Amino acid sequence: MTTQQRPPLEGLRIIDLTTFLSGPSATQLLGDLGADIIKVESLDGDSSRAIVGPTVRGDSAYFLANNRNKRSIAIDLKAPRGLAVLKRLIAGADVVVENFRPGVTTRLGIEPEAVVSCQPTLVWASISGFGQNGPLRDRPAYDMVVQALGGVMSLNGHPGAPAARLGIPAGDVVAGLYAAIGILAAVQARHETGQGRVIDVSMLRGQLAMLSYQALYTYLKGVAPGPQGAAHDSIATYRSFKGGDGRELVVTANTPRMWEGLCRTLGVEELVRDERFVDAASRLRNKEELWAILEARFAERPASEWVDLLSEASVPVAPVKNVLEALADARTADDGSLVVVSDGEVSFENVATPIRFVDTADVEPAYPPALGGDTVDILLGEAGLSQSEVEELIADHVVAAAPLGEPVA
């Protein structure tokens, strides 16, 4: 019987000074991989706790989706004694992650380079909208702002329609992923050198990185691409179609074999020999004519039938599903794509981190913490304070413990 290994980041302590989405998504990922995440919140809490929408026990779904596997301590960082507590926590940490606006850490007295200079093994990751030194560094940034500035919105939506934001928070999530990658790279380097380092992650740079081949297309052509709709700039048979029942499906017939399989399945084998569509370049040049022919054929059967037939012909195809349908499929697959998070009294289902390690113990998903829910334990443990010191900090409203206002037991 194979002995399961520990979660890969077990033993790594991370101080999480982030709010809203980009930072919390990064630290949740690291927590899912076994890191100990201490979420430092203001006395009012992470602002995402109060976002309008579905809630569970007063916390928004927005907050709950990005803060499992963390402990929470509520500190007034504007109070000198509160800042002193934070510095004690940082002194015992491996990593600090923050997404303050540039300059805030300096005003607080925890400027990253200075802290790492005094604590050389520390890894410090700063996530911001536009970077620590860019011309826009002082501007506030949210997901749609960086989608707009990074060119992403101009590519989304259909030709002739207004630009549309992606329906997912790509600006936040991508920045969170790059932050996690940078942190893991720095931790690995520290094993070799004994030195930590400071990481600067920009949401805008993350959106530019997402442009991928579109950035090089633009450079080589000197022309900005327009909205992509459900088609592709280079592959005529990479797009969505509508079945006879009104449901949409996508086809990605990229290779000659797939193109031939598409034509054979649709009963239009003559297109394979048609000079207008004889190769990929010809099909792209005559895409409007080709699409008209294919659309007419797809309209003859329900989308689900075409999906089955094309799958049998090894042509990549899928129905366009809404989020409810996609989650139902994941639930049926029971492959770990979803996770149930519970505190013993209430529970909710959420999307799991998609990374799997063979022969490795899973991290049991811990319910997102109540504001200040771990304040006392963290102060007594990680901060090394005495019972009387903790009681004094709570009484003076330098820190808060959940349930807020109750005395320390």
Contact partners, residue 273, CB within 8 Å, separation at least 6: none
Please answer whether residues 115 and 93 qualify as being in contact, where contact means their C-beta atoms are separated by less than 8 angstroms.
no
Catalytic choice (32, 46, 172, 200)? 172
User: Does the annotation count 245 as an active-site position?
Assistant: no
Q: State the Cα–Cα distance between residues 280 and 375, nearest whole angstrom.
A: 62
Per-residue pLDDT of the chain (409 residues; tens, 9 = 90+): 567 899 999 999 999 999 999 999 999 999 999 999 999 999 999 999 999 999 999 999 999 999 999 999 999 999 999 999 999 999 999 999 999 999 999 999 999 999 999 999 999 999 999 999 989 999 999 999 999 999 999 999 999 999 999 999 999 999 999 999 999 999 999 999 999 999 999 999 999 999 999 999 999 999 999 999 999 999 999 999 999 999 999 999 999 999 999 999 999 999 999 999 999 999 999 999 999 999 999 999 999 999 999 999 999 999 999 999 999 999 999 999 999 999 999 999 999 999 999 999 999 999 999 999 999 999 999 999 999 999 999 999 999 998 754 444 4
Please give the model's pTM, rounded to 2 decimal places: 0.95
Q: State the Cα–Cα distance between residues 87 and 111, nearest whole angstrom.
A: 12
- Looking up tokens 């002995």 gives 3
CA 407 to chain centre: 37
Residue 70 class from Cβ within 10 Å (0-12 exposed, 13-18 middle, 19+ buried)?
buried
Closest by Cα among 178, 166, 170, 167 to 202:
178
Q: State the Cα–Cα distance between residues 180 and 104, nearest whole angstrom.
A: 22
DSSP per-residue string spanning 252-305: E--SHHHHHHHHHHHT-GGGGG-GGGSSHHHHHHTHHHHHHHHHHHHTTS-HHH
Q: What is the pLDDT of residue 47?
A: 96
CA 312 to chain centre: 34
Please answer whether residues 196 and 122 qualify as being in contact, where contact means their C-beta atoms are separated by less than 8 angstroms.
yes
Please answer whether residues 41 and 15 qualify as being in contact, where contact means their C-beta atoms are separated by less than 8 angstroms.
no
Q: What is the pLDDT of residue 405?
A: 40
The domains located in the chain, with CATH, are 13-210+335-400 (3.40.50.10540), 238-320 (3.30.1540.10)
Q: State the Cα–Cα distance between residues 247 and 6, nearest whole angstrom.
A: 45
Peptide bond into 403 cis (omega under 30): yes
Q: State the Cα–Cα distance between residues 163 and 50, nearest whole angstrom.
A: 29
Q: What is the pLDDT of residue 404?
A: 53
Please answer whether residues 37 and 71 qualify as being in contact, where contact means their C-beta atoms are separated by less than 8 angstroms.
yes
Q: What is the pLDDT of residue 2?
A: 63
